[in-house]
Amino acid sequence: MISELKISKDRLESIISSFASVNVLVVGDVMMDEYLWGDVRRISPEAPVPVVEIEESTVRLGGAANVVRNIASLGAKTMLVSVAGRDDNGRRISQMLAETGCDIGGLYHSSGRPTITKTRIGARGQQVVRVDRELVADLRDDELTAAQAAFSAFIPKATAVVVSDYAKGVVCAPLLSTIVEQCSRSGKFVAVDPKERHFELYKGVSVITPNLKEAHQVLGIPQPKHVPDDAIEPMGWKIVEHLNLKYLLLTLSERGMALFDASTRKCTMLPTMARKVFDVTGAGDTVISVFTSAISAGGNPVEAAWIANHAAGLTVAEVGTAAVSPSELLAACLES
């Protein structure tokens, strides 16, 4: 197990400046994240619940749309294959994605499902409740046909592919089959932010980025309250072998990350770079976005994981989903 890494300033600048030459194709479940913030001064007379008087509201891109936002923030180009509703939030997501510079020609607006919207209501800096509006179901025939056609049209222009799987329906067996087959044929790097229900379908992708809970799920074993350090490496290699992966990037919360490289049989431990943790929402989106972009920009897997680790340390210090700029990322990397 390796735990130390040194990258020169010139090398960092070379990788981060090369983000501008990258074009990442993102596939997955797009969402709208809505935040309503206010204050609580009384309890409802209708039920024993607080009344939140809303003072501020914001909306942000969520799910696969947040992956697009993260990659675009790095200066890379993006393309998107997804399905949204034929509704106000669907139109709003299209507009917000277009403003990032994303090619949204593969975003299909369906009358068969609403745009996934997660509304978080908070008071005095604390989340009170979250309200989800969604339909969890695999793609209908028209939705699947549109997604497969868009992927086939985009893949020749893609430097790499990110599959952002939130298990809401866009990432389904037929579409994953198309992705793996075409990426294998064209030699394209494909990274997956996984969900439990699809683990067996990820066989043959380049890398998956599970957390500890998901790692236990893929192996079908219960997760203890505390996973000892010496149990992480054997578990990681079992996942690499089970899914025939080139790499595994295992996120370990406050312990950082572990990168497994099948070609070298080396496991590299990366301690967390987070100094303050306010909100882990979207941290996984940041990790897979930066890791894939850095690989595509010429970084090796260890360098890419190291840079992604620093990016995650920046985003968890923000409330809600966040993205980092090349200058912020370079400064954070150089500071360490």
pLDDT digits (tens, 9 = 90+) for 124-135: 888 999 999 999
Mean pLDDT, range 62-78, rounded to an integer: 96
* Predicted pLDDT of residue 324: 86
Question: What gap in Å lies between CA 143 and CA 156, rounded to an integer?
Answer: 21
Query: Per this entry, what is the length of the chain?
Result: 336
What is the distance of C-alpha 204 from the center of its chain?
Answer: 19
Bridge partners, residue 40, by sequence: 52
Mean pLDDT, range 199-224, rounded to an integer: 89
CATH annotation of 9-31+62-114+136-335: 3.40.1190.20
Which stretch, 103-112, 221-230, 269-278, has highest mean pLDDT? 103-112
Identify the CA nearest to 244 among candidates 291, 192, 301. 192
Does residue 277 surpass a pLDDT of 50? no
Residue whose tokens read 């990426």: 183
Does residue 275 surpass a pLDDT of 70? no
Helix (H, G, I), strand (E, B) or coil at 65: helix
Q: Rg (Cα) of the chain, in Å, rounded?
A: 20
Confidence of residue 185 (pLDDT cuts 50, 70, 90): very high
Question: What gap in Å lies between CA 57 and CA 34, rounded to an integer?
Answer: 7
Tokens of 131: 């309200």
* Predicted pLDDT of residue 282: 56
DSSP per-residue letters across 111-149 = SSSPPEEEEEEEETTEEEEEEEE----PPPHHHHHHHHH
Question: What gap in Å lies between CA 254 and CA 136, rounded to an integer?
Answer: 31
Question: What gap in Å lies between CA 289 and CA 277, rounded to an integer?
Answer: 20
Question: What gap in Å lies between CA 62 and CA 282, rounded to an integer?
Answer: 8
Burial (CB count <10 Å: 0-12, 13-18, 19+), residue 198: middle
Q: What single-letter DSSP state applies at residue 211?
A: B
Whether residue 258 contacts residue 236, with contact meaning beta carbons closer than 8 Å, is answered with yes
Tokens of 73: 């923030």
What is the distance of C-alpha 18 from the center of its chain?
Answer: 21
Residues 6+ apart with CB under 8 A from 2: 266, 267, 268, 269, 302
Question: What gap in Å lies between CA 16 and CA 19, rounded to an integer?
Answer: 5
What is the distance of C-alpha 71 from the center of its chain?
Answer: 10
Residues 6+ apart with CB under 8 A from 194: 165, 202, 208, 209, 210, 214, 218
User: Does this model's pTM top 0.85?
Assistant: yes
Question: What gap in Å lies between CA 188 and CA 292, rounded to an integer?
Answer: 11
By annotation, the residues acting in catalysis are 285
Q: What is the 3-state secondary structure (H, E, C) of 150-190?
A: HHHHHHHHCCEEEEECCCCCCCCHHHHHHHHHHHHHHCCEE
Which amino acid is present at 55? Answer: E
Question: Terminal CA-to-CA distance of the chain, rounded, Å?
Answer: 21
Which amino acid is present at 292? Answer: T
Question: What gap in Å lies between CA 71 and CA 93, rounded to an integer?
Answer: 16
pLDDT digits (tens, 9 = 90+) for 16-50: 999 999 999 999 999 999 999 999 999 999 999 99
Domain boundaries along the sequence of the chain:
9-31+62-114+136-335
Does residue 267 surpass a pLDDT of 70? yes
Question: What gap in Å lies between CA 164 and CA 170, rounded to an integer?
Answer: 9
| Residue 187: CB atoms within 10 Å | 6
Mean pLDDT, range 139-145, rounded to an integer: 97
